[in-house]
Structure 1
Amino acid sequence: MGFIQALLSFFGKAKPAAPSPVKPPIAQPLPQNPPPSAQAAVGAAPQVEPVKPAPARGVGITVEHLTKMGATAANAAKYVDHLNETCAKFEINTRSRICHFIAQIFEESGNLRVVRENLNYDAKACMRVWPKTFPTVESTVGFTMNPAALANKMYGGRLGNKEPGDGWKFSGRGLIQITFFGNYEPCGKVLGLDLVSHPELLEEPKWAAMSAGWYWRDQGRCNALADVDTFEQVKVITKRVNGGYNNLASREKHWKQAKVVFADFK
């Protein structure tokens, strides 16, 4: 064999090794459950704190309390926030004080219905309420069913009423029937209102309630009286609020009802 043939024979036998086939990566099985960190990120529902009841407003008077006292649902809803604000502001903040206060304003306002004094009196009413001024039917002529004339007759010229027409202008308004210039002016100063020029503001629910609280604490000095939780004390407070004892039996009935309605108060 020649040299050239020997080389050809050698290279023909030494073939290069074929490259190894590339194996595809083995697919890893998906985990049945994501790791805890992934659950917290995508799968777990956030924890919800239990709903806490809203705190009671003011001293805790509710619409239910007022309706149980005899107010309509609409009037109870209209006044509940204002009465809470009033009681908190003027320290009517114990069960005994609240019961006495609610009893008086419910009587004065006809269960939260009336915020303007009704002076449409017939002859009998004039004679019953003001027997000294109207001793006979004849003496009531000109004043029956005439609110302005009656107010000016009965309220004019006293307790700060000086100008003609002041009796009617400053006749009863609010849940406790604020009356006379001598009450309107200081009440307005405490509440930040010009009640001398605009006495009608006391017919608005907020000021009807707040003026009652002002009179109760500042003019009538009734908080200390109302700390005495007795039936007999209703008469004493009635004298301070009303100036007399008008409808005393009704006021006592309201007080007894309030004792039941606000039984859970301290």
Structure 2
Amino acid sequence: MVIARSVGIAGRNDLTDVLVVQLLFNMNLPQFSAPVPKKLDTDGRIGSKTLKAIEAFETRVMGLPGSDQMVAPGDATIKALLKGLPKGPSPEKLQLVMPRALASKVKLYYEPLVAGMTRYKITTDLRMAHFIAQLAHESASFRYTEELASGDAYEGRTDLGNTQPGDGRRFKGRGLIQLTGRANYAEYSKAAGTDYVAKPQLLASDPFAAVDVACWFWHTRKLNALADADDVKAVTRRINGGYNGLDDRIEYLTRAKAVLGLR
């Protein structure tokens, strides 16, 4: 579900879960008749304003006679909050999947994502859910478009096409799904019509390139078919070569499915 644990007056109140409830409440404000409550600060902290927001939604929107100021995974309130989300894609929905992402980063990558997913036919709800979940993990919720390691570990890796001195650092992982190695940079350059071998840093610094290379990787590795089969382990293995971060990827996927109305 969209939250993993209880939120509210007697809840577990993990930061991410509280953030999600706050985001959901703000996106449901159009359902309120006057006077419309104020938007919550999305800080992940449980407090009187968030507790009162839960109560207001349950009594004023859902029409319940009372409220215990607590929600739990999969309960009627969470279902009603999800049902009340506006139709279609939006930056706010993307923020729900990655609640810890900076709003500025969501805004930066949203339009490139819409364009890239359309171009590469990542357009069904299930494909989008798997794709966004993998991006969220690989980039740590849009924090990184370049791997933190120096790239020295790739030096001399002929299987990656790194045949020239300095290729390890020059062609370390970049993009929202990190492309690695001279050969892969050359392959993508040919497909994109831009020489990223000459300017590898663009895959990290240009938001459209960072997204497009991830979409291209997804397409060329035939990941749509694995997403259609709803096989998160197979998708992860093809991207990662193993199951590194599988639980984190599944957590993002679960939220993405809930936001997109998949059960």
**Interval containing the TM-score (normalised by the shorter chain):** 0.5 to 0.7
Residue 233 (structure 2) aligns with: 235
Q: Which residue of the other structure, out of 49, 58, 61, is the alignment partner of 2:89? A: 61
Residue 160 (structure 2) aligns with: 159
Between the aligned partners of 1:239 and 1:148, the Cα distance in structure 2 is 21
Contact 2:151–2:171 (CA under 8 A) maintained in structure 1: no
Between the aligned partners of 2:103 and 2:151, the Cα distance in structure 1 is 32
Contact 1:108–1:176 (CA under 8 A) maintained in structure 2: yes
Residue 50 (structure 1) aligns with: none
Using structure 2 for the length normalisation, give the TM-score.
0.63
Larger CA Rg, structure 1 vs 2 = 1
The number of residue pairs the alignment matches comes to 174
SS in 2 for 1:168: helix
Deviation of the 1:188 alpha carbon: 1.3
Residue-by-residue CA offset, 1:109-157 (whole Å, 9 max, x unaligned)? 01011000011xxxxxxxxxxxxxxxxxxxxxxxxxxx243342xx633
Contact 2:160–2:180 (CA under 8 A) maintained in structure 1: no
Residue-by-residue CA offset, 1:199-246 (whole Å, 9 max, x unaligned)? 11101111000000000001x2101111113xxx11100011112211
Contact 1:69–1:111 (CA under 8 A) maintained in structure 2: no
Between the aligned partners of 1:61 and 1:165, the Cα distance in structure 2 is 42
Using structure 1 for the length normalisation, give the TM-score.
0.62
1:214 matched to 2:199? The reply is no
Between the aligned partners of 1:244 and 1:208, the Cα distance in structure 2 is 23
Q: Which residue of the other structure, out of 239, 251, 254, is the alignment partner of 2:252? A: 254
Deviation of the 1:264 alpha carbon: 7.4
Between the aligned partners of 2:166 and 2:237, the Cα distance in structure 1 is 27
Deviation of the 1:61 alpha carbon: 3.0
Residue 101 (structure 1) aligns with: 131
1:150 matched to 2:149? The reply is no
Residue 180 (structure 2) aligns with: 179
1:84 matched to 2:84? The reply is no
Between the aligned partners of 1:63 and 1:237, the Cα distance in structure 2 is 24
When residues 244 and 72 of structure 1 are mapped into structure 2, their CA distance, relative to the original with a 3 A threshold, is same
Residue 169 (structure 1) aligns with: 170
- The one-letter amino acid paired with 1:81 is E
- The one-letter amino acid paired with 1:248 is L
In the alignment, structure 2 segments of 5+ residues that lack a partner are 1-87
SS in 2 for 1:111: coil
Residue 84 (structure 2) aligns with: none
Residue-by-residue CA offset, 1:80-122 (whole Å, 9 max, x unaligned)? 1000000000110100100010010110001011000011xxx
Contact 1:116–1:172 (CA under 8 A) maintained in structure 2: yes
Between the aligned partners of 1:149 and 1:188, the Cα distance in structure 2 is 22
Residue 26 (structure 1) aligns with: none
RMSD, matched Cα = 1.9
- The one-letter amino acid paired with 1:101 is F
Between the aligned partners of 2:213 and 2:89, the Cα distance in structure 1 is 18
When residues 159 and 148 of structure 1 are mapped into structure 2, their CA distance, relative to the original with a 3 A threshold, is closer
1:111 matched to 2:174? The reply is no
Residue-by-residue CA offset, 1:47-96 (whole Å, 9 max, x unaligned)? xxxxxxxxxxxxx5311011111222111111110000000001101001
Between the aligned partners of 1:184 and 1:148, the Cα distance in structure 2 is 14
- The one-letter amino acid paired with 1:187 is Y
% identical equivalent positions: 39
Deviation of the 1:175 alpha carbon: 0.3
Deviation of the 1:261 alpha carbon: 1.5
Contact 1:61–1:80 (CA under 8 A) maintained in structure 2: no
Contact 1:115–1:177 (CA under 8 A) maintained in structure 2: yes
Residue-by-residue CA offset, 1:6-27 (whole Å, 9 max, x unaligned)? xxxxxxxxxxxxxxxxxxxxxx
Between the aligned partners of 1:186 and 1:240, the Cα distance in structure 2 is 18
SS in 2 for 1:158: helix
Residue 189 (structure 2) aligns with: 188
In the alignment, structure 1 segments of 5+ residues that lack a partner are 1-59, 120-146
